[in-house]
Amino acid sequence: MRGYFSSSIGAPSVGLTCAAVLALPLTLPAPATAATAAPERPAPTADGATTVARPADAALPGRTQSLPLVPLTRARDLGSASEQVVHRRDVRRFSLVGVVWDNPGTELHGKVQVRTRSVATGKWSGWQDIETHNADHGADPDTAESTSGRVRGATAPLWVGDSDAVELRVRADAAPATGDGRTGSSAPLPSGLRLDLVDPGTEPRRQGSPADASRTGLGLDDAAAGASAANTDLVPLGAAEIPSLSKKDTEREALALRGTPRAGTPRVQPYVGPRPRIVTRNGWGADEKLRERGFGYTKSVKAAFVHHTASGNNYKCAQAPSVIRGIYRYHVKSMGWRDIGYNFLVDKCGTIYEGRAGGVTKAVLGAHTLGFNSDSMGIAAIGTFSSSKPTASAVTAVAKLTAWKLGLFGANPKGKTYLKSGGGNLYPKGKNVRLNVISGHRDGYATDCPGKHLYSKLGSARTAAARYQGR
């Protein structure tokens, strides 16, 4: 079913496949079906590896190399199905890794470990664990994104830094004990296992002066201009960031975005937090030709789900744009999603980044919380917080972002709301579920995400966000 889209904040409208974006507030785009470009297909090389080649346009950054996994032993009954590896080998440079397989409905029950060789030092890292349970992220069941035929099963991506050699091992869990107490054989691993090595590339050089680019979008191709145009209700075309605003100026802006009230309806000052600084997709160097054309919208933003990327904490804040470009490429080219799954990302220094394209003030449909992507937004803290604590800066950034974005849609960060489940492992499809307006991923799906240490900070984030709103 095709819906329509209105730019008025909180308007009861649905936009599922808008191919055009707003260049000015309160302008309705003509609905059209989003394009479904074919994904990059790995081309086999002489040594059995596959490489997703850089497009003909040399200015497009990044690359994905794909290496098939092989059984650890030749004898099929001694582990060919239960343990598979990529033997130590030299490869082209990469910075992020993940394991991908054919069927997105199949889970990998086992342990995945990788070690890499640093370009800077020439030394090998120790073995690092890759988070295997990634099925809890993704588009809702039965949506066009989930049924495209391009979606694959995958682990979480792991940031390893600039590397030029790799070794991987995947070992299946032992099957549960039988009735007589004996442990069964190992559960089979998913079919079509491969290791994807992602080079996030470098940010494209800006053409012309920064002042010219921010005014005119000089140097932007059509795809980049389209993503940037979705934010022209806030900043000029081509802007690398959306600056922060005072609370008073944000309130004025929120009223303008909501439009002129109907006759007899008073202009009520909104509960909205000051707009935080946000680095745009242009600012972090998104290659807009990777994603599908067009944007998907939902009716409203009634809740925010907080995630961690499970990509590790071994990055510097200056590297965060590269990490995001790596995750973006992994989500689109390796996992088969239409765009990066999260609506926003936050690094350990508290910098906020625009995620999925479509406009930071709008109700953009993401692929972050399986079953609850409609009427919500997904915020991912870059890192892994199962055993490590998030920084205070990151938690504060989550509070500021939710105070602003939820405020645009009239939501109270300390309140509760109802969302209808699209289907998942906690709630059946169609069930109305009462959730915190600021929830952790695990509240909507049985998962460790966002890690116990980040999850424990959500209470303080709710309180701070409400305070920023003036409640």
pTM for the full model? 0.84
pLDDT value of residue 359:
97
The DSSP annotation for 430-453 comes to T-EEEEESEEEGGGTSSS-TT-HH
Same domain, 239 and 133: no
Domain-embedded: residue 165 = yes
pLDDT value of residue 81:
62
Round to whole Å and give the CA distance between 47 and 106. 28
- The domain of 299 spans 222-469
Q: 458-469 and 392-408 are packed helices; what angle lies between their axes, rounded to 10 degrees?
A: 50
Q: Which of 143, 164, 199 is the last residue of a domain?
A: 199
Domain-embedded: residue 282 = yes
Same domain, 185 and 301: no
Q: Which of 199, 234, 267 is the last residue of a domain?
A: 199
Domain-embedded: residue 35 = no
Same domain, 176 and 246: no
Domain-embedded: residue 308 = yes
Number of folded domains that form the chain = 2
Domain-embedded: residue 70 = yes
Low-confidence ranges of the chain (pLDDT < 50): 1-59, 75-80, 207-216
Same domain, 155 and 240: no
pLDDT value of residue 27:
31
Same domain, 129 and 246: no
Same domain, 138 and 259: no
Domain-embedded: residue 129 = yes
> Residues, the chain, total?
471
Return the closest-CA partner of residue 402 out of 278, 312, 228.
278
Domain-embedded: residue 139 = yes
> For residue 312, what is the domain's CATH number?
3.40.80.10
Same domain, 279 and 375: yes
Q: What is the β-pairing status of strands 303-308 and 376-381?
A: parallel
Same domain, 340 and 234: yes
Same domain, 312 and 400: yes
Same domain, 159 and 265: no
The dihedral over CA atoms of 140, 429, 13, 38, expressed in degrees to the nearest 10, equals: 20
Same domain, 189 and 254: no
Same domain, 371 and 458: yes
Q: Which of 151, 167, 199 is the last residue of a domain?
A: 199
pLDDT value of residue 98:
98
Domain-embedded: residue 31 = no
Let me know: does 355 contact 345? Beta carbons within 8 Å.
Answer: yes
Measured between alpha carbons, how far is residue 259 from residues 7, 10, 33, 171, 428 in Å? Answer: 9, 11, 27, 57, 37
